[in-house]
Structure 1
Amino acid sequence: MLLLLTGSSGYIGSRLASRLNERGHSVFGVDRKQYNGNFFSDTTTGDLLEPSTLERTNLNVDCICHLAAAKGDWGISEEEYYRDNLEATRAIIEAGKDAGVKDWVFYSTVATLGPHHAPVDEGADFNAINPYGASKADAEKLFHQLASEDPEARVLIIRPSVVYGPGNPPSTNIYRLVDAIYNRRFAMVGPGDAIKSTSYIENLLAATIFLMERMERGVQTYIYVDEPALTTGTLVERIYKLLGRSPPSWHIPLSVATPIATVSDWTADFTGIDLPITAARIEKFNRSTNFDASKIREDGFEQPVSNEDALRRTIEWHLHHEYGEPLPAEA
């Protein structure tokens, strides 16, 4: 099969391309950043909203996997989210339609559904609380429109949660958490009872390929998160244990931490520096993101890596990659 993968130099995209190539597929990539992995048949460097980029991109493919997106918790404007997540999606859909592409894979996000204490599944209504989730929800609607106009189209929408694992970028949540705990810059804010659904990179890739091999006409939407979901308190305790350290026995109340973080926000806005503590990150850490991914498991998918092994592999990579240290023997 011939596939085009947008966002091909990204953390997920480059690894998905490698897995697809291993299965005998020819993968073409397009991204703003150049990435020349030997598992790509060819790559194009450029912005999807620049006509010249798509003119230089191989669209004569069987399937387009659209992963390119703007994501972050600091420094991205609402306008940028809608430009990169909605308008770029519109551009690739139109280009793909003109080229006769029938199969589509779109990486959306559980952020389209907003935070929940009780686990919600694919039937929940859109309830995004930030521009990232809202722009992704609007992009999903474009794919539904595509399928309604073309009865032969097959669209797979995958909604992962926080993605992490070996090689995760410094801007990602788990990386920051491990780094802060290792460097003794972490303070537990809040009681630690918020539920956090996460998606280990190897599990997400396995789920993606599992679903791609079972695509049907119309739109199929799947949440993917690892099971079981952990509380922030449990996640922090496990990281401390894997680092060979004792977790703190106290926490800072939200009522105390939030005003301090607000001052940090003002400083960041004034200096243009992405500071490690922001009000948004504290709020996010204490907000439950609980999702039900039983649909894919009922279809026969089995999570290949347990939560315990996933976190162990991630921290082992982090220690070796960042600090040249092995995982403690007692971990």
Structure 2
Amino acid sequence: MPSSTAIVFGGAGFIGSHLLAHLVAGGKHARVISADIRAPKRTVAGVEYLTCDVRETIDAAALGPASVVYNLAAVHTTPGYEDWEYHWTNVLGATHVCDYARAAGCKTMVFTSSISVYGPCEEPKDETGALEPNSAYGRSKYQAEEIHRAWARADAERHLRIVRPAVVFGPGEGGNFTRLAGLLKKGRMVYPGRKETIKACGYVGELLRMLDFALEREEPEITFNFAYRERYTTEDICDAFRKVAGFKAPLGVVPLPVMLAGGLAFEMLGLLGKKTSVNRARVMKLVHSTNVVPGVLPAMGYEYETDLEEALRRWQAAEPSGEFV
């Protein structure tokens, strides 16, 4: 019988829920614990759910020892928070999780960073690319990476895996891909500014396989990007949804000045008290490419099990309704 314990900080969210189910199914740990300030999006049988705010000091004695720690805890919606809030949760949280791992005698840690540490990029960037975050979120994630590296390098027996995920999609995502599917299904999708914006992305199941692969390696520290190797554009993603689900084609390209004017109009509505998530910053995110390339793990022999179309088929098959939305 296994005697180890896996703790997932930030296990209540989309990726965390999939990770917890994966850990339980793998059967390698006697205990699988989710530590999060929020209630889980979906509960997983066999998981112990604990309330934990990583912005506060973590009581290692109360939480107990851990064989492996996954630190997913973060605020990440951009825009969506004040600059200080990203640092409060993502940087201070990294400090507290590393303090816990140190006190609990944990030797293995996985930290989910973000491709935001690279900033927007039209030219391809692999893990050797310059780190040029242009947002408080990206800067907070870069700082959190360094905090985890300091933990790892203080003890030769420690192992650290830092993954920089692109857009992750799959069952229960409720984010960019779900919104895109909804627009395509209703025939309301337009290309913002251009069709050829590159959006690095990957399926949540592929992310879990990649994490397992990285943890099986002997290197003390690995930092790697998670995304498909293919450079999928906004048009490619829409075409894949159409092939898999039979959605309607986008209506066309709306010029960027028109999109920005619409974003400004929604900002004005927000000032008048109407709740909206549309603004000019969000429009610009749609136009800027995230041309991030995974180089480290493929060079080590990692082989992808899916591509974009196959991932969408698996997602659709996993939904009880057989639909993305």
TM-score scaled to structure 2, two decimals? Answer: 0.90
Say whether residues 1:24 and 2:27 are aligned partners. yes
Q: What is the aligned partner in structure 2 of residue 50 from structure 1?
A: 56
Say whether residues 1:250 and 2:257 are aligned partners. no
Q: Which moved more, 1:235-244 or 1:248-257?
A: 235-244
Task: Report how many aligned residue pairs link the two structures.
Answer: 318
**1:120 to 1:244, Cα distance in 2 relative to 1, 3 A:** same
Q: Which moved more, 1:239-248 or 1:176-185?
A: 239-248
Note the alpha carbon deviations across 1:89-147, whole angstroms, 9 max, x for none.
Answer: 10111121122222111011111111211211111222111111110000001112222
**Contact in 2 for aligned 1:17/1:39 (Cα 8 Å):** no
Residue identity opposite 2:264 in structure 1: T
Residue identity opposite 2:45 in structure 1: N
Residue 228 of structure 1 and its aligned partner are, at CA, apart by 1.1
> Using the alignment, how far apart are the partners of 1:2 and 1:211 within structure 2?
19
Q: What is the aligned partner in structure 2 of residue 212 from structure 1?
A: 215
5 Å-filtered alignment, 1:126-275, equals 126-169=131-174, 172-217=175-220, 219-248=221-250, 250-271=252-273, 273-275=275-277
Say whether residues 1:11 and 2:2 are aligned partners. no
Residue 46 of structure 1 and its aligned partner are, at CA, apart by 2.6
Aligned alpha-carbon RMSD (Å):
2.2
> Using the alignment, how far apart are the partners of 1:193 and 1:34 within structure 2?
38
5 Å-filtered alignment, 1:110-121, equals 110-121=115-126
**1:315 to 1:285, Cα distance in 2 relative to 1, 3 A:** farther
5 Å-filtered alignment, 1:240-319, equals 240-248=242-250, 250-271=252-273, 273-275=275-277, 277-315=278-316
Say whether residues 1:78 and 2:79 are aligned partners. no
Residue identity opposite 1:227 in structure 2: R
Q: What is the aligned partner in structure 2 of residue 328 from structure 1?
A: none
**Contact in 1 for aligned 2:187/2:249 (Cα 8 Å):** no
Unaligned segments of structure 1, at least 5 residues: 325-331
Unaligned segments of structure 2, at least 5 residues: none
**Contact in 1 for aligned 2:122/2:289 (Cα 8 Å):** yes
* SS class of match (1:104): strand
**Contact in 2 for aligned 1:44/1:53 (Cα 8 Å):** no
**1:95 to 1:250, Cα distance in 2 relative to 1, 3 A:** closer
Note the alpha carbon deviations across 1:44-71, whole angstroms, 9 max, x for none.
Answer: 113122346655423x011111011111
> Using the alignment, how far apart are the partners of 1:52 and 1:200 within structure 2?
32
> Using the alignment, how far apart are the partners of 1:16 and 1:245 within structure 2?
30
**Contact in 2 for aligned 1:199/1:224 (Cα 8 Å):** yes
Residue 155 of structure 1 and its aligned partner are, at CA, apart by 0.9
> Using the alignment, how far apart are the partners of 1:316 and 1:187 within structure 2?
26
TM-score scaled to structure 1, two decimals? Answer: 0.88
Note the alpha carbon deviations across 1:214-257, whole angstroms, 9 max, x for none.
Answer: 1432x210111113121112212332344434424631110221
Identity of aligned residues (%): 27
